[in-house]
Amino acid sequence: MNKKQLYEVAEQLMTPGKGILAADESIETATKRLKAFDIESNEDSRRAYRDLFLSTEGIENYLNGVILFDETIKQDNSAGIPFAQLLTQKGILPGIKVDGGKEIDPNSPKETLTVGLVGLAERLSEYKHMGAKFTKWRAVIKIEGDTLPSKSNIRMEAKRLAQFALVSQQIGLVPIVEPEVLHDGNHTLERAAEVEQLTLQAVFEELESVGVDLKALILKPSMVLPGKDAVSSTPEEVAKSTAEVLLATVPKKLAGVVFLSGGQEPEEATKNLGAIVKAEKFPWPISFSFARALQTPALTVWRGKEENIEKARDVFTQRLKQNQLAIQLD
């Protein structure tokens, strides 16, 4: 493990004024995205879907990194350039999602645990050879009344995130840990803050217990949001709760924080992001790592038709610009 190189990659991923595109949907999730716009999902249509965004001119002005999926890092763009190579040529760091989805938690059947630790080191070595510079692992925390999440589920997910991060650094890749607290349901903003704090406390306890170097690690947390079926909160309320949780749980030596959009509408995610960035003077850089909130407006225009590509790319660029403006402190 070359710590200097890890620090350099982490610093580049958190270069001020830019974010990270999460283009790492699994085949199952990508299929759902495409079907919503009457696009048949197959290897070529998914390649075209990725190419729509990754070959957009000028994205290097807004993005430090792009998280890819296993299928995508092995594919080429429409000009025959491997996607990882294309991003590198643009000065954007290629990353890779390496968790293997979810399984039922045997101790809590209503909850899940993320899988993918078996054979992880070997897979990471292969991805590094393909050009990946960083990794990402997503855990899912479900809120349901006062009973879920269970403390045991949070702890097990935290342990798996920590093991993933440790192996990533040992291989020479910067890990992004993503403990996503879902905002499905009708829980309050206060309940969301409580769960977010419990989750992040457990994650950082486990990260430090196994010796993960936090200066070469990026956190991808949820914004603190009420459930989708509850009374909505203003961006200022979301920002206040999110800032309080982060400052109470996240060590100062962390490389940076990039928020996920978590199914929010694009404009909603951008407004909440901007409010969070301006809520406090944080000890770490803060940015975004959105998927749907960046891609859906462009997909609405594209709909799988070649004649719509340039218009869709213009829409994508506008979303990138709006999020860039949101993270500026001036």
The catalytic residues are 178, 220
Q: Would you state the structure tokens that stand for residue 220, as one six-digit string? A: 């991808």
Rounded Cα distance, 102 and 81, in Å? 32
Hey, is 202 helix, strand or coil? helix
Query: Within its chain, how far is the Cα of 56 from the centroid?
Result: 20
Going by C-alpha positions, the residue among 183, 109, 95 that lies closest to residue 152 is: 109
Of 22, 42, 23, residue with least CA distance to 31: 42
Element (H, E) at 21: strand 19-23
Cβ proximity of 266 and 319 under 8 Å: yes
In the chain, the amino acid numbered 78 is: S
Cα separation, 312 vs 37, in Å, equals 13
Q: How many angstroms from the chain centroid is the CA of residue 259?
A: 7
Structure tokens at 71: 């299928």
Hey, what are 28's tokens? 């199952």
Collapsing DSSP to helix, strand or coil, 269 comes out as helix
> HSE (CB half, 13 Å, CA atoms) of 88?
15
Nearest Cα neighbor of 175 from 205, 118, 213, 127 is 213
Using alpha carbons only, give the angle 300, 60, 121 rounded to the nearest 5 degrees: 90
User: Would you list the DSSP string of 36-75?
Assistant: TTT---SHHHHHHHHHHHHT-TTGGGTEEEEEEPHHHHT-
Cβ atoms of 33 and 298 closer than 8 Å: no
Q: Is 40 exposed, middle or buried (0-12, 13-18, 19+ CB in 10 A)?
A: exposed
